[in-house]
Amino acid sequence: MKETIINIKNISKIYSTDRMDTYALKDVSFTIQNQDFIAIQGTSGSGKSTLLNILGLLTTPTAGDYFLKDKNISKLKSFQKAFIRNEFIGFIFQNFNLIDNLNVKKNVELPLIYRKGMNKKIREELVEKALNHVGLGHRLHHFPKQLSGGQQQRVAIARAIIGNPTIILADEPTGNLDSKNSQSVMNLLKELNESGSTICVVTHDTRYSEMVNRNFLIEDGLLSELEINYSH
């Protein structure tokens, strides 16, 4: 049964300077349901990364409301948002955002360090499971610089899924990869979605259009949902 897990209502984001106000987002409203696989496409500067950062509680909207599982979290304090991020949201970034002086195991384990009631043995079991899921169980003790770009992104995906988040947010996850590794990462995200994960991807890559169940376009801060043609 479909359940609405995120409800964005009339969200706007304005960046103000002495000279002018710039609308990054204009009165955006949409919902995300469990097991959705969403692509948000748009040119550079269209507002798509701002929207993803608001979804990830990294940026506060200027106006509007954000409901997560029917709870309005728009006005929460920073420490409350940090708790929700750790508990409910998994992130995948274009630049991987791995810590160079930590090995793969430690990088993937990071989101669990702040979970209450989770001992070392449980964390290690979850790390192994997540890395096996992305095909890198044999790279536990390698460091990021010993891995290819595609492998680093797979480690980042393992880190994103380890805490069993409500939603995975991916910001240009194939942006730094060649076409072969891009396809591999896209296939992995599709597999995660088919196994129950809810995923929202910001991307320039039009190939996502054929893999997702909902496709959005953002232009000049305005969001519209596109019809998906399943005929091919």
Asked, for residue 147, whether it belongs to a domain, the answer is: yes
pLDDT of residue 44: 83
**12 SS3 class:** strand
Rg for the chain, CA atoms, rounded: 18
Going through 96-196 in order, the beta strands assigned E by DSSP cover 167-171
Asked, for residue 72, whether it belongs to a domain, the answer is: yes
pTM of the model: 0.90
Residue 205: band (very low, low, confident or very high) from pLDDT cuts 50, 70, 90:
confident
Share of the chain above pLDDT 70, in %: 97
Asked, for residue 85, whether it belongs to a domain, the answer is: yes
Mean pLDDT of all residues belonging to the chain = 91
pLDDT of residue 229: 63
Mean pLDDT along residues 190-215 = 89
Asked, for residue 177, whether it belongs to a domain, the answer is: yes
One-letter amino acid at 106 equals K
Mean pLDDT along residues 210-218 = 92
**Chain centroid to CA 130: how far?**
16
Residue 232: band (very low, low, confident or very high) from pLDDT cuts 50, 70, 90:
very low
Q: How many domains does the chain have?
A: 1
Asked, for residue 232, whether it belongs to a domain, the answer is: no
Answer yes or no: is pLDDT of 36 > 90.
yes
pLDDT of residue 114: 76
Answer yes or no: is pLDDT of 21 > 70.
yes
Asked, for residue 231, whether it belongs to a domain, the answer is: no
Token readout for 54 is 């608001």
Asked, for residue 60, whether it belongs to a domain, the answer is: yes
Cα(99)–Cα(80) distance, integer angstroms: 25
Model pLDDT for residues 141-193, shown as the tens digit of each residue: 999 999 999 999 999 999 999 988 999 999 999 888 888 888 899 999 999 99
Residue-range definition of the domain harbouring residue 184? 4-226
Asked, for residue 91, whether it belongs to a domain, the answer is: yes
Q: What is the CATH number for 119?
A: 3.40.50.300
